[in-house]
Chains A and B, each alone.
Chain A
Amino acid sequence: KQEVTQIPAALSVPEGENLVLNCSFTDSAIYNLQWFRQDPGKGLTSLLLIQSSQREQTSGRLNASLDKSSGRSTLYIAASQPGDSATYLCAVKNSGAGSYQLTFGKGTKLSVIP
């Protein structure tokens, strides 16, 4: 059974810092990996999708990398802003049986201090 872990559970940084959020998964037979952002009381906003054949994806100040063989992904946020404060969730979609299902990590709660 796929398991997804996000460490740390919470992170507090001063505004302007570059930061890295980590995601690890136990089964490397994945179809893709998706990073989401969730604001308190809100739904999930898709940030980046990385297919299993890709190594990284970029969107603005965000860069996500994928190392499928080691079961790891990182989300890099450049020049953090208070508006980046939210919970960031990583989710993987397995290939093969059960490929419709996303398995989520429990998230990293990010606070960017002005």
Chain B
Amino acid sequence: QVQLQESGPGLVKPSQTLSLTCTVSGASISSGSYYWNWIRQPAGKGLEWIGRLYTSGSTTYKPSLKSRVTISVDTSKNQFSLKLTSVTAADTAMYYCARGESPDVFDIWGQGTMVTVSS
């Protein structure tokens, strides 16, 4: 079955760039028509959608984060990635990658990776 696994540094300094990767197993990231998403959750708080990448390569981002976010794909590694620039403490959160068959549905999630922004 399809599985997702997030990876990346657990600690990022303020003003630097947060970079995470989601590795997809059990299916090719470039086959079918799927949406590949990044979602985050600060400790004890709610979910926040960051953005998505469609199989075609098109992207959509949360407006308030758009100037700092890039989601890209590496089909050779069957991975998609998140880059968030100029991070602050407010970006400290559990980061999840998730797949959806439509833009509004997240049916497969990774286990999440915790990222702390601190000097």
Do A and B share a complex? no
